[in-house]
Structure 1
Amino acid sequence: MRNKIFLYLFLFALLFIIYQYMNEKSIFEAQENQIERLQESVQKESDSIAVLHTTLADLNYFTLQGNDNAMTYLENRGYEAKDVETMVSDAIYEYNFVKGNNPLVPFEGMEGDMKINKLKFLNHKWIITEFTDGKYWGEMILEYYFTENNKLELKTISSFLYPN
Protein backbone atom coordinates (compact mmCIF):
# COMPACT_ATOMS: atom_id res chain seq x y z
CA MET A 1 0.00 0.00 0.00
CA ARG A 2 2.81 2.29 0.81
CA ASN A 3 4.31 1.65 -2.61
CA LYS A 4 1.02 2.54 -4.28
CA ILE A 5 0.84 5.86 -2.45
CA PHE A 6 4.39 6.70 -3.52
CA LEU A 7 3.55 5.62 -7.06
CA TYR A 8 0.46 7.85 -7.10
CA LEU A 9 2.42 10.75 -5.59
CA PHE A 10 5.14 10.24 -8.15
CA LEU A 11 2.62 10.18 -11.03
CA PHE A 12 0.83 13.22 -9.62
CA ALA A 13 4.12 15.10 -9.29
CA LEU A 14 5.11 14.06 -12.82
CA LEU A 15 1.77 15.27 -14.22
CA PHE A 16 2.09 18.52 -12.26
CA ILE A 17 5.61 19.09 -13.58
CA ILE A 18 4.49 18.40 -17.15
CA TYR A 19 1.54 20.80 -16.71
CA GLN A 20 3.83 23.51 -15.30
CA TYR A 21 6.32 22.99 -18.13
CA MET A 22 3.63 23.32 -20.83
CA ASN A 23 2.08 26.32 -19.13
CA GLU A 24 5.41 28.13 -18.76
CA LYS A 25 6.35 27.21 -22.31
CA SER A 26 3.17 28.80 -23.70
CA ILE A 27 3.69 31.91 -21.54
CA PHE A 28 7.30 32.14 -22.71
CA GLU A 29 6.27 31.81 -26.38
CA ALA A 30 3.57 34.47 -25.95
CA GLN A 31 6.09 36.83 -24.39
CA GLU A 32 8.60 36.15 -27.17
CA ASN A 33 5.93 36.92 -29.79
CA GLN A 34 5.01 40.12 -27.98
CA ILE A 35 8.67 41.18 -27.78
CA GLU A 36 9.09 40.56 -31.52
CA ARG A 37 5.96 42.60 -32.32
CA LEU A 38 7.15 45.43 -30.10
CA GLN A 39 10.62 45.39 -31.68
CA GLU A 40 9.03 45.58 -35.14
CA SER A 41 6.85 48.45 -33.97
CA VAL A 42 9.85 50.29 -32.52
CA GLN A 43 11.77 49.78 -35.78
CA LYS A 44 8.84 51.07 -37.80
CA GLU A 45 8.50 54.14 -35.56
CA SER A 46 12.25 54.77 -35.75
CA ASP A 47 12.05 54.68 -39.53
CA SER A 48 9.13 57.12 -39.42
CA ILE A 49 11.10 59.46 -37.18
CA ALA A 50 14.06 59.33 -39.54
CA VAL A 51 11.79 60.21 -42.47
CA LEU A 52 10.32 63.09 -40.46
CA HIS A 53 13.80 64.39 -39.61
CA THR A 54 14.71 64.35 -43.30
CA THR A 55 11.47 66.11 -44.23
CA LEU A 56 12.00 68.70 -41.52
CA ALA A 57 15.54 69.36 -42.72
CA ASP A 58 14.22 69.83 -46.26
CA LEU A 59 11.51 72.22 -45.05
CA ASN A 60 13.94 74.19 -42.93
CA TYR A 61 16.29 74.74 -45.85
CA PHE A 62 14.25 77.71 -47.02
CA THR A 63 14.24 79.46 -43.67
CA LEU A 64 16.62 81.96 -42.21
CA GLN A 65 17.55 79.68 -39.33
CA GLY A 66 18.06 76.69 -41.65
CA ASN A 67 20.20 78.42 -44.25
CA ASP A 68 23.87 78.62 -43.24
CA ASN A 69 24.74 80.99 -46.08
CA ALA A 70 22.02 83.44 -45.02
CA MET A 71 23.09 83.29 -41.38
CA THR A 72 26.73 83.81 -42.36
CA TYR A 73 25.75 86.83 -44.48
CA LEU A 74 23.99 88.41 -41.50
CA GLU A 75 26.77 87.54 -39.08
CA ASN A 76 29.29 89.19 -41.40
CA ARG A 77 27.15 92.33 -41.22
CA GLY A 78 27.16 92.14 -37.40
CA TYR A 79 23.70 90.67 -36.83
CA GLU A 80 22.45 87.45 -35.28
CA ALA A 81 19.83 85.65 -37.37
CA LYS A 82 17.45 85.16 -34.42
CA ASP A 83 17.67 88.86 -33.53
CA VAL A 84 17.03 89.85 -37.14
CA GLU A 85 13.93 87.66 -37.28
CA THR A 86 12.58 89.24 -34.12
CA MET A 87 13.41 92.79 -35.21
CA VAL A 88 11.94 92.43 -38.71
CA SER A 89 8.83 90.57 -37.48
CA ASP A 90 8.16 93.27 -34.91
CA ALA A 91 8.60 95.99 -37.54
CA ILE A 92 6.18 94.26 -39.95
CA TYR A 93 3.54 93.60 -37.29
CA GLU A 94 3.84 97.18 -35.99
CA TYR A 95 2.45 98.35 -39.34
CA ASN A 96 -0.75 96.50 -38.41
CA PHE A 97 -1.31 99.03 -35.62
CA VAL A 98 -1.30 101.93 -38.08
CA LYS A 99 -4.83 103.25 -38.62
CA GLY A 100 -6.15 101.88 -41.90
CA ASN A 101 -4.51 99.30 -44.11
CA ASN A 102 -1.03 97.96 -43.48
CA PRO A 103 1.16 100.12 -45.77
CA LEU A 104 3.13 97.06 -46.92
CA VAL A 105 -0.02 95.44 -48.37
CA PRO A 106 -0.64 96.80 -51.89
CA PHE A 107 -4.40 96.12 -51.76
CA GLU A 108 -7.15 98.15 -50.15
CA GLY A 109 -9.35 96.21 -47.74
CA MET A 110 -12.91 95.67 -48.97
CA GLU A 111 -14.42 94.34 -45.75
CA GLY A 112 -12.04 96.05 -43.34
CA ASP A 113 -8.39 96.99 -43.10
CA MET A 114 -5.78 94.72 -44.68
CA LYS A 115 -3.46 93.37 -41.98
CA ILE A 116 -0.59 90.89 -42.10
CA ASN A 117 -1.41 87.65 -40.25
CA LYS A 118 1.57 85.37 -40.75
CA LEU A 119 5.06 85.57 -42.08
CA LYS A 120 7.90 83.21 -42.85
CA PHE A 121 11.52 84.11 -43.43
CA LEU A 122 12.86 82.50 -46.58
CA ASN A 123 16.44 83.73 -46.20
CA HIS A 124 18.43 86.89 -45.43
CA LYS A 125 16.52 88.93 -48.04
CA TRP A 126 12.95 87.67 -48.45
CA ILE A 127 9.88 86.99 -46.39
CA ILE A 128 6.58 85.47 -47.51
CA THR A 129 3.51 86.84 -45.73
CA GLU A 130 -0.21 86.27 -45.61
CA PHE A 131 -2.62 89.18 -45.26
CA THR A 132 -6.40 89.55 -44.90
CA ASP A 133 -9.19 92.02 -44.26
CA GLY A 134 -11.30 89.37 -42.55
CA LYS A 135 -12.98 88.11 -45.72
CA TYR A 136 -10.49 88.54 -48.57
CA TRP A 137 -6.94 87.34 -48.24
CA GLY A 138 -3.73 87.06 -50.18
CA GLU A 139 -0.01 86.58 -49.98
CA MET A 140 3.03 88.64 -50.82
CA ILE A 141 6.80 88.52 -50.86
CA LEU A 142 8.67 91.21 -48.99
CA GLU A 143 12.30 92.15 -49.34
CA TYR A 144 14.09 93.37 -46.25
CA TYR A 145 17.56 94.81 -45.91
CA PHE A 146 19.60 97.09 -43.74
CA THR A 147 20.93 100.36 -45.10
CA GLU A 148 24.50 101.47 -44.51
CA ASN A 149 23.44 103.25 -41.33
CA ASN A 150 21.72 100.03 -40.10
CA LYS A 151 18.17 101.18 -40.80
CA LEU A 152 15.70 98.43 -41.69
CA GLU A 153 14.03 98.84 -45.08
CA LEU A 154 11.00 96.80 -46.20
CA LYS A 155 9.82 96.60 -49.80
CA THR A 156 6.93 94.66 -51.34
CA ILE A 157 8.22 92.66 -54.31
CA SER A 158 5.12 90.79 -55.45
CA SER A 159 1.64 90.05 -54.19
CA PHE A 160 -1.70 88.56 -55.13
CA LEU A 161 -5.22 88.49 -53.77
CA TYR A 162 -7.15 85.23 -53.84
CA PRO A 163 -10.51 85.42 -55.60
CA ASN A 164 -13.40 85.04 -53.21
Structure 2
Amino acid sequence: MKNKIFLYLFVFAALIALYQFVSTNNLQKDMNGDIERLENENQSLKDSIQNAQLKILDMQYFSLENNDDALAYYDHLELQNPARYIADKLLETNERSGDNPLIPYEGMNSDFKINKIKVLNHKWLLADFSDGKFWGDLIIQYELKDNLSVDFTLLDHLLYTRSN
Protein backbone atom coordinates (compact mmCIF):
# COMPACT_ATOMS: atom_id res chain seq x y z
CA MET A 1 0.00 0.00 0.00
CA LYS A 2 2.81 2.39 0.88
CA ASN A 3 4.53 1.62 -2.45
CA LYS A 4 1.32 2.43 -4.41
CA ILE A 5 0.98 5.79 -2.67
CA PHE A 6 4.56 6.66 -3.62
CA LEU A 7 3.90 5.48 -7.18
CA TYR A 8 0.74 7.62 -7.40
CA LEU A 9 2.59 10.63 -5.94
CA PHE A 10 5.43 10.10 -8.38
CA VAL A 11 3.02 9.85 -11.37
CA PHE A 12 1.08 12.90 -10.11
CA ALA A 13 4.33 14.90 -9.69
CA ALA A 14 5.45 13.79 -13.16
CA LEU A 15 2.12 14.95 -14.66
CA ILE A 16 2.41 18.32 -12.91
CA ALA A 17 5.99 18.70 -14.18
CA LEU A 18 4.91 17.74 -17.72
CA TYR A 19 2.01 20.22 -17.56
CA GLN A 20 4.37 22.97 -16.35
CA PHE A 21 6.87 22.16 -19.12
CA VAL A 22 4.24 22.23 -21.90
CA SER A 23 2.59 25.35 -20.49
CA THR A 24 5.89 27.21 -20.18
CA ASN A 25 6.90 26.12 -23.68
CA ASN A 26 3.63 27.42 -25.14
CA LEU A 27 4.00 30.66 -23.20
CA GLN A 28 7.55 31.06 -24.51
CA LYS A 29 6.38 30.51 -28.11
CA ASP A 30 3.60 33.09 -27.66
CA MET A 31 6.03 35.61 -26.18
CA ASN A 32 8.52 35.05 -29.02
CA GLY A 33 5.70 35.55 -31.53
CA ASP A 34 4.68 38.77 -29.78
CA ILE A 35 8.29 39.96 -29.79
CA GLU A 36 8.64 39.25 -33.52
CA ARG A 37 5.34 40.99 -34.25
CA LEU A 38 6.38 44.04 -32.21
CA GLU A 39 9.78 44.12 -33.91
CA ASN A 40 8.06 44.07 -37.31
CA GLU A 41 5.69 46.84 -36.23
CA ASN A 42 8.64 48.80 -34.85
CA GLN A 43 10.50 48.45 -38.16
CA SER A 44 7.36 49.46 -40.03
CA LEU A 45 7.02 52.56 -37.83
CA LYS A 46 10.69 53.41 -38.35
CA ASP A 47 10.17 53.13 -42.11
CA SER A 48 7.07 55.34 -41.88
CA ILE A 49 8.98 57.94 -39.86
CA GLN A 50 11.83 57.88 -42.36
CA ASN A 51 9.38 58.32 -45.26
CA ALA A 52 7.68 61.20 -43.45
CA GLN A 53 11.04 62.86 -42.80
CA LEU A 54 11.97 62.51 -46.48
CA LYS A 55 8.64 64.05 -47.49
CA ILE A 56 9.20 66.94 -45.10
CA LEU A 57 12.69 67.52 -46.48
CA ASP A 58 11.30 67.38 -50.00
CA MET A 59 8.57 69.89 -49.13
CA GLN A 60 11.11 72.21 -47.51
CA TYR A 61 13.41 72.17 -50.53
CA PHE A 62 11.96 75.41 -51.93
CA SER A 63 12.07 77.36 -48.71
CA LEU A 64 14.02 80.42 -47.67
CA GLU A 65 14.75 78.90 -44.26
CA ASN A 66 16.65 76.02 -45.89
CA ASN A 67 18.42 78.01 -48.59
CA ASP A 68 21.74 79.26 -47.20
CA ASP A 69 22.63 81.08 -50.42
CA ALA A 70 19.40 83.07 -50.33
CA LEU A 71 19.71 83.73 -46.59
CA ALA A 72 23.17 85.20 -47.20
CA TYR A 73 21.44 88.18 -48.86
CA TYR A 74 20.01 89.12 -45.46
CA ASP A 75 23.07 88.64 -43.25
CA HIS A 76 23.69 92.38 -43.02
CA LEU A 77 20.13 93.05 -41.81
CA GLU A 78 20.40 90.86 -38.70
CA LEU A 79 16.84 89.57 -38.94
CA GLN A 80 16.11 86.52 -36.83
CA ASN A 81 13.58 85.06 -39.28
CA PRO A 82 13.54 86.84 -42.66
CA ALA A 83 10.81 84.60 -44.09
CA ARG A 84 8.46 85.41 -41.21
CA TYR A 85 9.28 89.14 -41.52
CA ILE A 86 8.50 89.13 -45.24
CA ALA A 87 5.29 87.14 -44.73
CA ASP A 88 4.19 89.60 -42.02
CA LYS A 89 4.86 92.54 -44.34
CA LEU A 90 2.79 90.87 -47.06
CA LEU A 91 -0.04 90.18 -44.62
CA GLU A 92 -0.02 93.87 -43.70
CA THR A 93 -1.34 94.54 -47.22
CA ASN A 94 -4.53 92.76 -46.10
CA GLU A 95 -5.22 95.47 -43.52
CA ARG A 96 -6.54 97.92 -46.07
CA SER A 97 -10.28 98.00 -46.51
CA GLY A 98 -11.44 96.32 -49.69
CA ASP A 99 -9.54 93.83 -51.77
CA ASN A 100 -5.82 93.30 -51.27
CA PRO A 101 -4.00 95.61 -53.75
CA LEU A 102 -1.79 92.76 -55.00
CA ILE A 103 -4.77 90.64 -56.07
CA PRO A 104 -5.96 91.61 -59.57
CA TYR A 105 -9.51 90.38 -59.00
CA GLU A 106 -12.50 91.87 -57.29
CA GLY A 107 -13.92 89.77 -54.49
CA MET A 108 -17.22 88.15 -55.44
CA ASN A 109 -18.32 86.85 -52.05
CA SER A 110 -16.40 89.43 -49.98
CA ASP A 111 -12.95 91.04 -50.23
CA PHE A 112 -10.04 88.98 -51.53
CA LYS A 113 -7.36 88.62 -48.86
CA ILE A 114 -4.07 86.72 -48.76
CA ASN A 115 -4.20 83.64 -46.53
CA LYS A 116 -1.07 81.50 -46.84
CA ILE A 117 2.43 82.48 -47.84
CA LYS A 118 5.43 80.37 -48.84
CA VAL A 119 8.69 82.33 -49.16
CA LEU A 120 10.70 80.42 -51.75
CA ASN A 121 13.98 82.34 -51.75
CA HIS A 122 15.37 85.88 -51.55
CA LYS A 123 13.28 87.08 -54.51
CA TRP A 124 10.02 85.12 -54.85
CA LEU A 125 7.12 83.91 -52.82
CA LEU A 126 3.86 82.06 -53.39
CA ALA A 127 0.63 83.23 -51.83
CA ASP A 128 -2.87 81.85 -51.58
CA PHE A 129 -5.86 84.20 -51.51
CA SER A 130 -9.58 83.82 -50.98
CA ASP A 131 -12.81 85.68 -50.44
CA GLY A 132 -14.33 82.84 -48.45
CA LYS A 133 -15.84 81.13 -51.48
CA PHE A 134 -13.42 81.64 -54.35
CA TRP A 135 -9.67 81.26 -54.13
CA GLY A 136 -6.49 81.52 -56.15
CA ASP A 137 -2.71 81.70 -56.11
CA LEU A 138 -0.16 84.44 -56.66
CA ILE A 139 3.50 84.44 -57.61
CA ILE A 140 5.05 87.56 -56.15
CA GLN A 141 8.51 89.03 -56.52
CA TYR A 142 9.69 90.97 -53.51
CA GLU A 143 12.64 93.09 -52.53
CA LEU A 144 13.68 93.52 -48.91
CA LYS A 145 15.55 96.80 -48.65
CA ASP A 146 18.21 97.84 -46.18
CA ASN A 147 15.71 100.03 -44.30
CA LEU A 148 13.58 96.84 -43.84
CA SER A 149 10.84 98.02 -46.18
CA VAL A 150 9.57 95.46 -48.65
CA ASP A 151 8.41 96.09 -52.22
CA PHE A 152 6.05 93.50 -53.73
CA THR A 153 5.50 93.00 -57.46
CA LEU A 154 2.90 90.61 -58.79
CA LEU A 155 4.43 88.28 -61.40
CA ASP A 156 1.52 85.96 -62.11
CA HIS A 157 -1.88 85.01 -60.73
CA LEU A 158 -4.51 82.33 -60.98
CA LEU A 159 -8.14 82.28 -59.92
CA TYR A 160 -9.69 78.83 -59.62
CA THR A 161 -13.04 78.45 -61.28
CA ARG A 162 -15.73 76.28 -59.81
CA SER A 163 -17.43 73.77 -62.05
CA ASN A 164 -20.92 72.95 -60.80
TM-score (normalizing by structure 2): 0.91
Distance 1:125 1:41 in 2: 45
> Which runs of 5 or more structure 2 residues have no equivalent in the other structure?
none
Amino acid across the alignment from 1:78: L
> Which runs of 5 or more structure 1 residues have no equivalent in the other structure?
none
Report SS of the residue matched to 1:16: helix
Q: State which of 127, 132, 153 in structure 1 corresponds to 2:151.
A: 153
Assess, with a 3 A threshold, how the Cα gap between structure 1 residues 69 and 151 changes in structure 2: closer, same or farther.
Answer: same
Does the 8 Å CA contact 1:65/1:81 hold for their aligned counterparts?
no
Distance 2:33 2:146 in 1: 69
Report SS of the residue matched to 1:99: coil
Distance 2:111 2:142 in 1: 23
Task: Among all aligned residue pairs of Structure 1 and Structure 2, give the percentage whose two residues are the same amino acid.
Answer: 39
Q: CA RMSD for the aligned pairs?
A: 1.6
Aligned partner of 2:126 in structure 1 is 128
Aligned partner of 2:135 in structure 1 is 137
- The range that moved more, 127-136 or 6-15, is 127-136
Assess, with a 3 A threshold, how the Cα gap between structure 1 residues 90 and 124 changes in structure 2: closer, same or farther.
Answer: same
Report SS of the residue matched to 2:60: helix
Aligned partner of 2:64 in structure 1 is 64
TM-score (normalizing by structure 1): 0.91
- The range that moved more, 43-52 or 16-25, is 43-52
Report SS of the residue matched to 1:143: strand
Cα deviation for residue 81 of structure 1 reads: 5.8
Report SS of the residue matched to 1:160: strand
Assess, with a 3 A threshold, how the Cα gap between structure 1 residues 119 and 153 changes in structure 2: closer, same or farther.
Answer: same
Aligned partner of 1:49 in structure 2 is 49
- The range that moved more, 30-39 or 152-161, is 152-161
Does the 8 Å CA contact 1:118/1:129 hold for their aligned counterparts?
yes
Cα deviation for residue 115 of structure 1 reads: 0.8
